[in-house]
Amino acid sequence: AQSVTQLDSQVPVFEEAPVELRCNYSSSVSVYLFWYVQYPNQGLQLLLKYLSGSTLVKGINGFEAEFNKSQTSFHLRKPSVHISDTAEYFCAVSPAQGGSEKLVFGKGTKLTVNP
């Protein structure tokens, strides 16, 4: 079984400041890792994913994340945030084998970007 812990439920930052949203996971099998963003009254949009290869993954809207296997972490970063980045962000994992798309999500981090 897998579990995901997002260490901060809310993160307030000022516009143009850097931000890091933290994610740790637990799994007895190899996993794929994802970050999704959800705007109010919307579904989830994929920001980036780690399947294999380079541990630094770049995604849309200037976001990037680094997979750290020894620390079982997959933290999301952006060097300079905009007001439009205000949203809820979800870290998720799915098993790398077995052909399942079942995602296990963290509880989410609400990012608020203030002017």
Binding residues for other proteins (CB under 8 A): 32, 36, 41-46, 49, 51-52, 90, 92, 94, 99-108
When the beta carbons of 28 and 101 are compared against other proteins, the nearer one is 101
When the beta carbons of 75 and 108 are compared against other proteins, the nearer one is 108
CB of 29 to other proteins, least distance (A): 14
When the beta carbons of 15 and 103 are compared against other proteins, the nearer one is 103
CB of 14 to other proteins, least distance (A): 27
Tokens at 17, concatenated: 């400041």
CB of 63 to other proteins, least distance (A): 16
Cα separation of 86 and 84, whole Å?
Answer: 5
When the beta carbons of 70 and 101 are compared against other proteins, the nearer one is 101
CB of 69 to other proteins, least distance (A): 18
The SS3 assignment for 85 reads helix
Cα separation of 80 and 18, whole Å?
Answer: 5
User: Which of these, 14, 11, 12, lies nearest to 115 by C-alpha position?
Assistant: 14
Strands 73-78 and 104-105, by their bridges, are: unpaired
Tokens at 88, concatenated: 């809820």
